[in-house]
Amino acid sequence: MPAFSLLTPMPGLPWYLLPIWPLVFWRIQRLKAWFRAAGGPGSEMLWWVMWNGRVVVIRLSDDLSGHRP
C-alpha cells in the first residue's frame, strides 16, 4: 500500500472525503493499533475506506480469540 500520512491523503481517495481526511486517518490508525494489540504474530488484516469515510475490516487472518500460544 502506498504511504500516506495525516497531511498526505491516501491515493485514490474520493475528492469529497478530502475535507474529513484527518478523521479518516485517525480511524485507520485506531484500527491498526487495535489489530497490533489483539492480533497474533503473523496475522494480517484487510481494511477499506467506504464511500462515507467509514473504515471497515474486510478480512482477518486470525480469529483474535485472545489465546496466545
Domain count, the chain: 1
Average pLDDT, the chain: 88
Q: Give the pLDDT confidence score for residue 65 in this predicted structure.
A: 64
Cα–Cα distance between 8 and 37 in angstroms, integer?
A: 26
Residues 54 and 52: their CA atoms lie apart, in Å, by: 6
The answer to whether residue 52 sits within a structural domain is: yes
Q: Is the CB of residue 57 less than 8 Å from the CB of residue 31?
A: yes
Which pLDDT value is given to residue 38?
84
Mark the ranges of the chain whose per-residue pLDDT is less than 50: none
Domain holding 38, by residue range, is 19-60
0.85 surpassed by pTM: no
Asked whether residue 29 is domain-assigned, the answer is yes
